[in-house]
Each structure stands twice: as structure tokens, then as C-alpha cells.
Structure 1
Amino acid sequence: MKRQVYQALDSSHEDARTLAIRYWYDVLRDHPDFKEGITSFLEKRAPSFDPWDPATISDPAPLPADYVRGS
């Protein structure tokens, strides 16, 4: 999250939004920590995250070709 904020600091709103979507597609949506965070919130319990894996992707890939802007 910090990386995304710092990368988008001097960007336009649209560029920052696109970067956030790129992180979602490539890094966050399938990451076990994201799933645990949502599950623990819904179950009203403290999250139990695995230790940080330094091999986690840090820079997102470009958006997929089938991404439709504004959807």
C-alpha cells in the first residue's frame, strides 16, 4: 500500500487510479493475506497473517488486455 501511495504521489487522479487497479489485478486479489484480512473482518476476529514473503511481487504488471476502463 505504501509503495502504491508513494508511486502515485505526483500522478494525476486517473494515473493513481490505474496504478491501484494494476496492484489489485496483479498482487492483491489472489494474495493469501488479502483473503485472510477479509475473512477475519467478516468473522469479527483478529487476522492471522503468515510471515511476510520477500518474494512477493512488488511492482504490478500492466493491466490485462481485456480490462475495460471504468468498469
Structure 2
Amino acid sequence: MNTDLVRYVCRAQAHVTPSRTARLAAVNPVTIHDGVWAYCPAGSRTDHEWEAIEPVALTDLKLVEAVHPREVAPEGSPS
């Protein structure tokens, strides 16, 4: 098993919606969720809406997100 792969991505609307704050925070967009790597486009440390994804390298995930952004989680969804 490759442990360097991202296995969750955050879909929280506040973290996915492009904004100046999100771009500034995206310096460190990875964190740990359930013991594995997780990616939040805003680089936030709280209030996530995690979605399990097919394990992917961070560089590949950023490419996919730029070309095909996913839907955000509905507000109020559990994290």
C-alpha cells in the first residue's frame, strides 16, 4: 500500500469556493484524516466535508481539480 497517496478530499463549500483567503491558505493543502492524507483546497484545519476518493498523488489531484472541479457538499453536511 502506498501511504503517500491522498485518500480524502474536502468538499465544504467555504473551502472549495475560490476566494483570496482560500488561495492564501492553500500553501499547505494537506492534512491527516482517519490516519491517511487528505486534501483541502483552502488549506483549512477545521470544518471539513470529507469525501473518500480513489487514492491519488497530490500533484495528480491538483491537476484533476483544476480541470474538473467537483460539486461541493451541501451546507450542514457532517464532516
TM-score by length of 2: 0.23
Which of the two has greater helix per residue? Answer: 1
Larger Rg: 1
Which of the two has greater strand per residue? Answer: 2
Higher relative contact order (CA 8 A, sep 6+): 2
